[in-house]
């Protein structure tokens, strides 16, 4: 079934991370990857994993250099299923000046890799205005799967008090809406962004920022997020929902 039975050579990430070419085995840091699913016709390579799950848990890795120096480092994330098995690994590709000068407004490319070291999803966020008073230049993010093939977009919508976004397909057709809380507070509770139908009458899923404890919330910017969606949702839209989570992370929970 394609290249799924082959052992790939390690692929380097920005920042020096190397994805080990292992299958269903714990890595040196005891990480267990989700078993490689069979190939599926008309499914973008690498998105077969998403056909088997209705939740994605995203954990930002703690960077010691960032804690010690206070400088923003390139973010890295683990994406896991409900069993705690790693599904993907993601790394942000930005330079030092962009991260530390632009903050939450920074443009970035995020590379999402599978267990074989293949880049299966690429998220691209251009530099846009971060103020809601400029509705003509709000945030957006493009989702490619595989890299070079656009499967959808996440577009910020103007609203006086609510963080709102639209998930679109590759043809820019509106598919889902995302509505966040009026006040995004990081204190002592989970923060939920509801995923709804286009007319906002039916709940479809949720993107949640998980409370990680006072010490970690106060002294680091590492966060845990959860995404839930219907098992039978189109895998392309599941990938776009993952992209929406990373856009929300960069806008609301990045210093």
pLDDT at position 196 over 90: yes
More confident residue, 220 or 255: 255
Q: Which CATH class is domain 48-212+223-253?
A: mainly beta
238 vs 137, higher pLDDT: 238
Integer Cα distance of 242 and 232 in angstroms: 16
For residues 103-129, average pLDDT: 85
Provide mean pLDDT across the span 80-107: 76
Contacts of 151 (CB under 8 A, 6+ apart): 44, 143, 144, 145, 169, 170, 236, 239, 240
Q: Hey, how many other C-beta atoms are within 10 angstroms of the C-beta on 72?
A: 20
Mean residue pLDDT of the chain comes to 79
């Amino acid at each position: 079934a394609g290249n799924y039975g082959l052992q790939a050579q390690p692929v380097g990430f920005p920042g020096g991370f190397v994805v080990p070419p292992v299958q269903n085995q714990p890595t040196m840091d005891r990480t267990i990857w989700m078993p490689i699913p069979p190939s599926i016709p008309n499914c973008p390579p690498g998105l077969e994993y998403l056909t088997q799950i209705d939740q994605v848990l995203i954990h930002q890795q703690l960077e010691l250099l960032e804690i010690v120096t206070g400088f923003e480092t390139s973010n890295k994330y683990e994406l896991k299923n409900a069993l705690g098995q790693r599904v993907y690994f993601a790394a942000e590709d930005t330079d030092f000046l962009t991260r530390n000068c632009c903050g939450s407004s920074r443009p970035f490319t995020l590379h999402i890799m599978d267990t074989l070291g293949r880049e299966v999803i690429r998220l691209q966020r251009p530099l846009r205005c971060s103020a809601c008073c400029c509705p003509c230049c709000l945030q957006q993010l493009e989702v490619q799967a595989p890299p070079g093939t656009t499967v959808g977009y996440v577009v910020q919508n103007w609203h006086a008090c609510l963080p709102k976004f639209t998930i679109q397909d590759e043809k820019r057709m509106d598919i889902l809406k995302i509505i966040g809380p009026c006040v995004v507070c990081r204190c002592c509770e989970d923060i939920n962004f509801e995923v709804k139908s286009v007319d906002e009458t039916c709940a479809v899923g949720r993107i949640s920022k998980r409370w990680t404890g006072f010490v970690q919330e106060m002294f680091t910017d590492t966060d845990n997020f959860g995404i839930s969606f219907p098992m039978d949702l189109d895998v392309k839209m599941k990938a776009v929902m993952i992209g929406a989570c990373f856009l929300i992370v960069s806008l609301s929970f990045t210093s």
